[in-house]
Amino acid sequence: MLETMSQFLNFSIKFIPTKSWEEVIQLVKERVSFMSPMKLAIMPHLLKELDFTVPIEPATLTFSMAKPILKPRWQSLYYPLKDDVWASILAMMIVMPAVFILITNKRRPSRTILQVTGSLLAQNFSGHIPERNSGRLLVGAWLVFAFILGTAYRGNLTAFLTIPKYPPRAETLPQLLAKNAKVAMPPDAVDFYNGFKQSPSSEFRTLSERVTFVDSFKEGLGLAETSNSAYMYERRFMELMIARHFTPLRAASRLYVARQNVWPGYSAWPVIRDAPFKPVVDRCIQAFNEAGLIDKWGDMVVEEARRISRKKKRLHQLEEETETNNNEEKEADDDKGSASQALTIVHMQGPLFLLLLGLAVAGLVFAIETVMYAWYAKR
């Protein structure tokens, strides 16, 4: 933004290195620096000492946490259909054998139940086709119903196994507080901490009780990645640092940035008091906002950081590998930032449990049949 302004308004830029926000604010107060191209939340105590440009965007103080881990769930076979659908299928499994027996006049209900259940599970209809037209229509209607239901269930089951539903994650301040998570903040965010502590809102006061200060963003984001903790700071900065330091080569980052901002306000550039250039700078910022350039430039910076980070990690990996058969397809997949995910025990726990249950029931029935046959043979 500042470089574009300098080209349009014809002024030069001289950067003054600083080590903290306090030093930035002090330099602007002392008019050593005319303006700081770093967004600050517009707070009452800062307005007493500094002036601000027109708001650039809402104050983006938010938090980052680790994405919820998908836990193994044996109920995965149950999720493709709703409760009322399962209830309807159960009712049909009770009604249809009775109707078959009534129409076909068969006296072996066990075989009829097996035929109805087997056809629902995509097995052949092993019984003889009824001679009456009413029986044939009933068999045809049931087979069409079983085909449609089985196809829909198998399609939904594939989707639920490959793309399972993850647990909900905290996106707002109340949801963060409900998780009883600790909150890490850098030392230069102490003004926000004081604002939380003095706020009449019970949520902000509860948040201040959970805040701990860390020395660096790596420590804070590291805590958020490995424990029930959140790191709270400016949104774009966290997105940039996650893209640079916490994004694996062939997978998405374990961290995410919440959608909702925590601090209700706006952010802007601090400038000296009564600056004659402020109206012109304000018009440029308004033009950038109206054209959507601020969001566009921010996305470009984050995407560029993610691309450079992946490139460095890929080069580092290539240096460590002893094999020389790294093909171009692998590099193309890395550039796209996507990789196919193999099914794990998390996805396949339900089918495996069902198989073990079926083997156990079949073994029990086999043992009972063997005992019964032996008993009848002795008689």
- pLDDT for 346 equals 67
List, for the chain, all residue ranges whose pLDDT scores fall below the cut of 50. Answer: 327-339
Other CB atoms closer than 10 Å to residue 192's CB: what's the count? 22
Joined tokens for residue 335: 């550039």
Q: How far apart are CA 266 and CA 355, in angstroms?
A: 57
Candidates 26, 50, 58; CA nearest to 270 is 50
Strand partners, 58: 266
Other CB atoms closer than 10 Å to residue 264's CB: what's the count? 10
- pLDDT for 264 equals 78
Q: How far apart are CA 101 and CA 116, in angstroms?
A: 11
Note the pLDDT tens digit of each residue in 341-363.
566 776 677 778 778 888 888 88
Sheet containing 229-234: order of strands: 211-213, 182-185, 229-234, 61-66, 255-257
pTM as predicted: 0.57
**Backbone φ and ψ of 182, nearest 5°:** -75, 155
Number of H helices, E strands in the chain: 15, 10
The amino acid sitting at 205 is: R
